Amino acid sequence: MKPFCRRAILVAFGALLFGSAASSQDYPSRPVKIVVPFPAGGSNDIIARIVAQKLNERTGQTFLIENRAGAGGNIGADAVATSEPDGYTLLLTAPPPLTINAALYKNLPYDPATAFAPIALVATVPIVLAVHPSIRASNVRDLIALAKAKPGTITFGSSGNGSTNHLAGELLKSMTGINIVHLPYRGAAPAMKDLIAGHIPMMFDNIPAVLPQVQSKTIKVIAVAGAARASALPDVPTVAESGVPGFEASAWFALVAPAKTPAPVLAKLASEVEAILRMPEVQKRFTELGAEPASISGAAFARFLADETAKWTKIIQSSGATVN
């Protein structure tokens, strides 16, 4: 290669590196859009808005929330996956688009394993097992015994096929051998309404939606689905403590960017999120929502996503659940 060509390539490469570094140092220099792939008003939306507000304050730049709901989160996730990988379009989402939908949908428009660059796990939200007060089960052991005595007659509601609370029920079925029947609803709210009315005997749901009903004694919570007891319900044992060792299911919210987003931009965002989650006012607000800060970034976060994907893929395949 001629010296001129080599010099030209080196100059061009140097300019590319300098431009990338400069853009990372200046980031963000214009408004950033955070896509929430579920409707406004839900836990995902609320968590996203808390994070966006603090990012506004810390960076001096505007972080806007855009709700793009539909297809179990796939519409919003695909919009981010195909966006310019420059750090100005992000996705803050619950588990389905990242770890569940690839096994649930036959024609997913993106590959969760390659379409996104992980930034940070933002929060976890405990899932609890709630039953109608008329059910003669004060704990998980009682419920399992009841289900085994009447196979195929006990139903459990959820916010829809492939939702985390649906798959928590499928996980319970697979780990205990009970035969309970899934009834998908168009959202957690109508399912909870039917649980309160006694039209369904049980359901798994996120703790923020359950707490008001527990306080009014319209339902009873017999177990926490996560690995540890929930701070909001410290006297309620976990499913694992109640005779199903190894059981763990929880909802969470994570921030990701399109694949190939510059590493310095990802690192800066991860650092900002970690700082936000240490703020006492943010921790207090999360506690009020029944959520817990859960800052994991880098390789640890990538491993978390891989483990979650493997777990839920196995459950989906064994249950035969599908959407299209």
Closest to 276 measured CA to CA, from 264, 263, 285, 266: 285
Tens digit of each residue's pLDDT, the chain (324 residues): 444 344 444 444 444 444 444 456 789 999 999 999 988 877 888 899 999 999 999 999 999 999 998 888 999 999 999 999 999 999 999 999 999 999 989 889 999 999 999 999 999 988 999 999 999 999 999 999 999 999 999 999 988 888 888 999 999 999 999 999 999 887 788 899 999 999 999 999 988 778 888 889 999 999 999 888 988 889 999 999 999 999 998 889 999 999 999 999 999 999 999 999 999 999 999 988 888 898 788 889 999 999 999 988 988 887 777 776
User: In this structure, are residues 267 and 99 in contact, taking their beta carbons and an 8 Å threshold?
Assistant: no
- Residue 318: its pLDDT value, please? 79
Q: How far is CA 154 from CA 76, 189, 324, in A?
A: 35, 20, 26
- Residue 4: its pLDDT value, please? 38
User: Using H for helix, E for strand and C for coil, what is the string for 103-119?
Assistant: HHCCCCCCCHHHHEEEE
Q: What does pTM read for this prediction?
A: 0.80
Q: Which domains does the chain have, with CATH numbers?
A: 29-125+251-319 (3.40.190.150), 126-224 (3.40.190.10)
Q: How far is CA 268 from CA 26, 245, 263, 273, in A?
A: 11, 39, 9, 9
Token pair belonging to 29: 């220099």
- Residue 93: its pLDDT value, please? 95
**Treating both helix axes as pointing N-terminal to C-terminal, what angle do 164-176 and 298-319 enclose, rounded to 10 degrees?**
60
Rounded CA-CA distance 5/251 in Å is 54
- Residue 324: its pLDDT value, please? 62
Contacts of 216 (CB under 8 A, 6+ apart): none
- Residue 109: its pLDDT value, please? 94
Q: Which helix (H) or strand (E) holds 188?
A: helix 188-197
- Residue 23: its pLDDT value, please? 52
- Residue 316: its pLDDT value, please? 86
